[in-house]
Structure 1
Amino acid sequence: MISINNLTFEIGARALYDEANWHIKPGDKAGLIGANGAGKSTLLKLIVGDYAPTSGSISMAKDLKIGYLNQDLLSYHSDKSILHVAMEAFERQNQLHTEIEKLLLKLETDYSDDILNKLSDKQMEFEALDGYSIEFRAHEILAGLGFSEEEQKRPLATFSGGWRMRVMLARILLQTPDILLLDEPTNHLDLPSIKWLETYLQAFEGAIVIVSHDRYFLDRIINKTVESRKGKLTIYAGNYTFYLEEKSLREEIQSNQFKNQQAKIKQEERLIERFRSKASKAKMVQSRIKALDRMEKVDEVDDDNPEVNFSFKFSKPSGRHVVTMENISKSYPNLEILKNTDALIEKGDKIALIGANGKGKSTLLRIVADADNDYEGTSTKGHNVSQTFFAQHQLEALHLENSILQELVAFAPKHTETELRSILGCFLFTGDDVFKKIKVLSGGEKSRVALAKALTADANFLVLDEPTNHLDMASVNILIQALQQYEGTFIVVSHDRYFLENVANKIWYIEDKKIKEYPGTYQEYEAWSAKRVVKAEEPAVKKVKEEPKKVKAAPTEDNKRLLQKKNKELAALEEKIAQQEILVKDLEVELAKEEIYSDAVKLQDHTRRYNSEKASFDKLQADWENLAEEIMELEG
């Protein structure tokens, strides 16, 4: 499909890739990983031809259809509706639709065979290209990415950058390319949209290459992991969890080889030194020296995931109640967010605030942090509470002419320079890095500086809004370790499920305009939430049976016989539904198996069968509802 051979790409004097190789095959679902600056996004640009290799080659079939999502698409501007922008994916269908409309207009005055034949040909091609369903498909994908029916009619220009990126993603998915190149596709998605995209990509029949720092997302989709490191591409035949285990095993072998080789080198050097001055051993010594020079050296294993020993300092602990919220109501024009709701944050709480975008997470966080006072009710800080609020807009508050170290010294004068350098080292700023000017840093580096500032504050309560944005996996891991060692209280908004699972002991979510709490980890909440959904979707027959019997007129003999017959049909239908539900669930399990999703042909067959059986299941449920209504009417 795509063959990368001996690829070298240089930026100035630095070789970002040095004779790297990778063959992307049909059906591959690959995660391209590596530290920030390792060249992941650059490699995608090389594949699509935005950049040219210094040497080596990237070859592919001429008719290969590539769908490429990258952050540059944020600059796309249109005053047309997002539905129209998404449907731009159907270039040929749109062209045919326009031509058909023109021919139909001509047909009002010209009934010639030529016009009729042209119209017939266009309509046949339009139908063959599934043109009559393209609007439905566009609606479906936009809805999956979080757009309501009304929002789909709004112009693209009225949406923020994150929402515009979703429209670009919808357009790319609608193109049904042979291969998808996705650069951080979850960056602008909330949790429901991320889960929808996971399901979509699991069933996608083409190849996929994903650059992402969301390890849960990668684990659910990819069947290969490709690590970009030190100019090379190393391939692991499994998902991200497999990569971690396999890499650990490889590094253990490499570490043992390195130790053994070093011991051998020292032994040889001692031997050479011992006999260097003896003329009779000169030939042997020279032979040993040449052998050492020719020896292929094994590299020492670099620690990509350093352990962090983060010492937080706050001068006084808070009281038991950190934040008490009573009768909170908050609304915007035409949108009510919270209504007469209460909540309590207690000392030691590690709260993850989750939910779909637009449900009020950031609004609630600002109320908690006293950054929004335009609401009804009261939000009160407890005894001795000292707070730090981290949000993405604070990156703009960094002083661009300061060095990284100067920025922290000015913010946290109580800390010594040694302490601050140790903290910056935890955030991957080591050695002379601390003297870099803020203005030359990347978005991810600025985010790490702002986080380091937040964590050096004399605060026993942290309010963190999307702290994992712009962080690579190593940096997310460092933040996790830092927060695990934090003895204070915090509330955090993030869409990174791995991060949430490792830092939170309580989950907050907004439902029916109320703040709801689940007292457990994110994984426990997910399992509990899934059970709630299943329970809500159980057939309504249970409710019918549990409802108190109403006093009604005695049925006639004909009605009794008909009721008896209908109830038998209902019982038979329920049995079919139960069997069909088991079949559908079994097919879902099959679709999640590696031997199925890694084989494009098998995946296509299983997906087709799953869709067919799911449609049958939906039909049985609809039949059941109609029959249940008939029985209720007969029972009067």
Structure 2
Amino acid sequence: MLIALQDITFEFGARVIVENSSWHIVPGDRVGLIGLNGTGKSTLLRVINGEYTVSKGSVNKIKNLSLGFFNQDLLSFESDESILNVGMTAFEAAIKLEKEIERITKELETNEEEALLMEYADKLHEFEALDGYNIRHKTAQVLEGLGFSTADLERPYSQFSGGWRMRVLLAKLILQQPDVLMLDEPTNHLDLPSIEWLEKYLLGYNGAVIIVSHDRFFLDRMVNKIVELYQQELHHYAGNYEDYEEEKILRREMQQRAYENQQDYIRQQERFIERFKAKASKAAQAQSIAKRLDRLERVEQVDNGPSKIRINFTPDRIPGKIITTLNNVTKKFGKLTILENASAEINRGDKIALIGANGKGKSTLLRVIAGVEPMEGERIGGHNVVPSFYAQHQLESLDLNSEILDELKNFGSGRTEVELRALLGCFLFTGDDVYKRIKILSGGEKARVALAKTIISQANFLLLDEPTNHLDMNSVQMLIDALAQYDGTYVLVSHDRYFVSQTANKIWEIVDGEIKEFKGTYAEWEEFKKRQADALKLASGDKGNESKKKEIKKEQATNNNNNSGKKDNTPAPDQPKNAPFDKEKQKELQKYKRQFQQLEDQLAKLHEKKASLETAMNNPDVYADRKKFQQLESEYAQIGRDLKQATGEYEQVFEKLMELEG
């Protein structure tokens, strides 16, 4: 055993973080420490690290235990050294020895005494035992794995932004190889390739690892135990996060059954006491049962955790079939080329995830799509498109002197205060938090306010740049559920693979200045990339299995055809070129325009009614009245059918309009 937390209680001020709880950490543990935001996960790591002392119980560690703690406070570190040198400080003993060897080497130029030669030989042997000759290579390997280029290694640490500095400090911590490595939100500062590299590295790590993370994919792949900090207690589960979810459901079901059985027993005993306490022949027995009930250890009713509030996006109008078209777009920053003659098309209903390494231009492309980034080429906006752009720079649009609730009220969404407070609750603003002024909020809190404003914007086209960065798992899941119900179109940038896997039906990558599109989910894209990698291995190896090579080439060709991001500009066979625009055609065009407007109005009313029914169905009182619930459910199903029919007619009329206007 490396660390034993035995029956500990710890209070932070007047607030109890953990009470009478135990946790034993052994070699080989890969533990995911989870819990709602604000429950004290990071504080518990500091207790283990020895920064705080428990008020009750004990924290015992084996002798000479080395602990490594990766957390946000590390950003206070400053240095003008190169990042390679900063990373190499992980090998403190080897660096100290190297300096001593340099000193002795210089001294040997004028002094060849046997004692000095023996000391030199001993130091060389010790340096070799510490693998000192490889520390530069090891450091470079880890830094490059975390996303730095070879050229970056000699740049001063002070020149890098906060996120990149955190990567340097993570590299240093990994290189120190402590017995217990504690990582507080390590993936917040990493892009997808770096997260994947870290996963591979940690899977082979010899020490124990404790991870606090909101990245479900990372936890599923990394941990073999889950410790949940919930209601001031530590609850232990075997397996990864997915196993924890399944086990927790079973535990809740068992607890609920035990609670209900005990309540039945208590009611029976109380009825007996009430009936016979006044009868002389049964009074003693009734008194004995009453004492037994007083001593009974009560099973608590299951607490289902935070309430599941439905977040609703409500697009104001339905756009045309094409949302945005990019033709031959080029975007450069000095010598850095982001896009070069790139073309792409976003269609109504697309749910696009734009993924890839940092520095590839994902956020730049998002701004190009939004029309706020100057570029060469053509960007064509679609008919009736109402966009809403969420990104870090959007925080500038917040009124710093407003209270959070007023900021949303003044946005003019037409939502009630109850609806706005419920929405803010999803984004971790509860109770009196909604009256805080925006100017006193942290960067993460401001980002959550901006995201809430995006949701109530009634837009039919969303551009979301890292929307999950400041959310806990519960809030991320609510956002996923909301996007699943969203009738509009969106393009999102995210390094949260679980979020991407649950929300995207297309994957975009920027490769050599072009936008590469894959039509499919994230899981399908991963499988496709794996097959591509296998194909490359076959192509670069011996002749091997020729039939397998042909099969992979054929599959690649099929995928490339299916996932080409380029438009087919060939006119349809029945589409006349340069047809005269006669009066009959003009009449027909006017007719379809009137029909199009009527259908637009009809769809707007249907969407409004659907939103109204969803609000009514969110009211718990409805479920108490069976008839009312069945009526609402029937109306909701009918609205769904009406919407489907009206949308089909709308699309047909829209296509006809485009044909006549073209």
TM-score by length of 1: 0.81
Q: What is the alpha-carbon distance in structure 1 between the residues aligned to residue 241 and residue 458 of structure 2?
A: 37
Q: Distance in 1 between matches of 2:148 and 2:479?
A: 32
The aligned amino acid for 1:163 is W
Query: Do 1:304 and 1:474's aligned partners in 2 also have CA atoms closer than 8 Å?
Result: no
Structure 1 residues 229 and 164: CA distance shift in structure 2, 3 A: same
Residue 433 of structure 1 and its aligned partner are, at CA, apart by 5.2
> Does the 8 Å CA contact 1:29/1:222 hold for their aligned counterparts?
yes
Q: Shift in Å at residue 312 of structure 1?
A: 2.3
1:378 aligns with 2:378: yes
Kindly tell me: are residues 444 and 20 of structure 1, through their superposed partners in 2, closer, same or farther at Cα, counting changes over 3 Å? farther
User: Which residue of the partner structure matches residue 451 of structure 2?
Assistant: 451
SS of equivalent to 1:538: helix
Deviations 1:88-130 (A, max 9, x none): 0010110111111111112222222232222111111111111
Task: Report deviation, 1:72.
Answer: 0.8
Q: CA deviation at 1:448?
A: 3.5
Asked if 1:532 corresponds to 2:532, the answer is: yes
Which residue of structure 2 aligns with residue 68 of structure 1? 69
2:100 paired residue number: 99
What displacement does 1:315 show? 1.9
Distance 1:71 1:518 in 2: 36
Deviation (angstroms), 1:29: 1.1
**Cα distance in 2, alignment partners of residues 256 and 428 from structure 1:** 32
Quote the residue 1:32 is aligned against. 33
Q: SS in structure 2 opposite 1:50?
A: coil
- Going from structure 1 to structure 2, the CA distance change for 1:484 and 1:77 (only over 3 Å counts) comes to same
CA separation in 2, counterparts of 1:54 and 1:183?
24
Letter in 2 for 1:414: G
Aligned-partner SS, 2:252: helix
1:362 aligned onto 2:363: yes
- Change in CA separation of 1:430 and 1:277 when aligned onto 2, cut-off 3 Å: farther
Tell me, in whole angstroms, the C-alpha distance in 2 between the residues paired with 1:259 and 1:172: 50
Matches within 5 A, 1:164-313: 164-275=165-276, 282-304=283-305, 306-313=307-314
* 2:144 equivalent to 1:120: no
Q: Closer, same or farther in 2 for the Cα pair 1:277/1:345, shift >3 Å?
A: farther
Amino acid at match of 2:380: T
Alignment of 1:389-408 (within 5 A): 389-395=389-395, 397-399=397-399, 402-408=402-408
Go from structure 1 to structure 2 and tell me whether the alpha carbon gap of 1:429 and 1:263 turns closer, same or farther (over 3 Å shift).
farther
Query: Which runs of 5 or more structure 2 residues have no equivalent in the other structure?
Result: 547-662
Aligned to 1:627: none
1:476-491 matches, cutoff 5 A: 476-491=476-491
Alpha-carbon distance change, 261 to 434 in structure 1, aligned in 2, over 3 angstroms: farther
The alpha carbon displacement at 1:439 in A equals 6.0
- How many Å apart are 1:438 and its aligned residue? 4.7
Amino acid across the alignment from 2:60:
S
| Separation in 1, partners of 2:458, 2:513 | 34
CA contact (8 A) 2:224 2:240 kept: yes
CA contact (8 A) 1:443 1:470 kept: no
Contact 1:145 1:197 in 2 (8 A): yes
Aligned-partner SS, 1:368? helix
In the TM superposition, residue 422 of structure 1 has moved relative to its aligned partner by 3.5
Contact 1:308–1:481 (Cα < 8 Å) also in 2? no
Q: How does 1:555-570 map to 2 (within 5 A)?
A: none
Residue 504 of structure 1 aligns with which residue?
Answer: 504
1:344 CA drift (Å)? 0.8
SS at match of 1:90: helix
Does residue 517 of the first structure (1) align with residue 517 of the second (2)?
yes
**Structure 1 partner of 2:22:** 21
Partner of residue 336, structure 2: 335
Q: 1:337 to 1:264 in 2, by over 3 A?
A: same
More displaced 10-residue stretch of structure 1: 432-441 or 154-163 = 432-441
Shift of 1:305: 6.4
Contact 1:224 1:236 in 2 (8 A): yes
Contact between 1:82 and 1:167, CA under 8 Å: does it hold in 2? yes
Report the AA paired with residue 361 of structure 1. Answer: K
Cα separation, partners in 2 of 1:58 and 1:400, compared to 1, 3 Å: farther
The one-letter amino acid of 1:531's match is R
CA distance in 1, matches of 2:190, 2:541: 37
Q: Which whole-Å CA distance do the structure 1 matches of 2:438 and 2:291 have between them?
A: 48
Residue-by-residue CA offset, 1:300-344 (whole Å, 9 max, x unaligned): 222236544333222211111111111111111221111000011
Alpha-carbon RMSD: 2.2
Separation (CA, whole Å) in 2 of partners of 1:264 and 1:403: 51
Q: Percent identity?
A: 54
8 A contact 2:413–2:458 mirrored in 1:
no
Q: How far is 1:267 from its partner?
A: 3.5
Contact 1:3 1:59 in 2 (8 A): yes
Deviations 1:252-307 (A, max 9, x none): 10111122223333334444444566676554444444333322222222223654
Shift of 1:400: 5.2
1:90 match: 91
Q: Aligned-pair distance for 1:54?
A: 2.2
The one-letter amino acid of 1:527's match is E
CA pair 438-276 structure 1, distance change in 2 beyond 3 A: farther
**1:390: Cα distance to partner?**
1.1
8 Å CA contact 2:89, 2:95 repeated in 1: yes
Matches of 2:38 and 2:418, distance apart in 1: 27
Secondary structure in structure 1 of the residue aligned to 2:189: coil
2:435 and 2:299 map into 1 onto residues whose CA distance is: 33
Secondary structure of the corresponding residue to residue 492 of structure 1: strand
> How far did 1:491 drift?
0.7
CA distance in 1, matches of 2:205, 2:216: 19
Looking at structure 2, the residues matched to 545 and 537 of structure 1 have their Cα atoms a distance apart, in angstroms, of 12
Alignment length, in residue pairs? 545
SS in 2 for 1:235: strand
Q: CA deviation at 1:395?
A: 4.4
Q: Deviations over 1:486-534 (max 9, x none)?
A: 1101111111111111011000001111011000000100010111122
CA separation in 2, counterparts of 1:131 and 1:428? 48
1:314-325 aligned at under 5 Å gives the runs 314-325=315-326
Q: Following TM superposition, by how much is the alpha carbon of 1:404 offset from its aligned partner in structure 2, in angstroms?
A: 3.5
Offset, 1:235? 1.2
Distance 1:324-1:21 versus aligned 2 partners, 3 A rule: same
CA 1:232–1:253 in 2, change beyond 3 Å: closer, same or farther? same
Query: Does the CA contact (< 8 Å) of 1:310 and 1:485 recur in 2?
Result: no
Q: Distance in 2 between matches of 1:436 and 1:266?
A: 47
Paired residue secondary structure (1:537): helix
CA contact (8 A) 1:501 1:521 kept: yes
Q: Aligned-pair distance for 1:451?
A: 2.1
Structure 1 pair 371–265 and aligned structure 2 pair: CA distance change class (3 A)? farther
CA distance in 2, matches of 1:252, 1:392: 42
Aligned to 1:57: 58
* 1:405 Cα deviation from its structure 2 partner: 2.5
Tell me the secondary structure at the aligned position of residue 245 of structure 2. helix
Out of 279-288 and 491-500, give the one that drifted further.
Answer: 279-288
Q: Which moved more, 1:439-448 or 1:154-163?
A: 439-448
Is the 1:399–1:438 contact (alpha carbons within 8 Å) kept by the matching residues of 2?
yes
The answer to whether the 8 Å contact 1:398/1:450 transfers is yes
The answer as to whether partners of 1:389 and 1:464 remain within 8 angstroms in 2 is yes
Query: How far apart are the structure 1 equivalents of 2:278 and 2:403?
Result: 54
Report the CA distance shift for 1:495/1:12 in structure 2 as closer, same or farther (over 3 A).
same
What is the CA–CA distance in structure 1 between the aligned matches of 2:87 and 2:470, rounded to whole Å? Answer: 27
In the alignment, the residues of structure 1 paired with residue 396 and residue 237 of structure 2 have an alpha-carbon distance, to the nearest angstrom, of: 39
- Deviation of 1:412 after TM superposition, in Å, equals 3.4
Distance 2:16 2:82 in 1: 44
Residue type of the alignment partner of 1:382: G
Whole-Å separation in 2 of the counterparts to 1:395 and 1:47:
36
C-alpha displacement at 1:434, in angstroms?
Answer: 4.0
Q: Residue 411 of structure 2 aligns to which amino acid in structure 1?
A: F
Distance in 1, Cα, partners of 2:194 & 2:522: 17
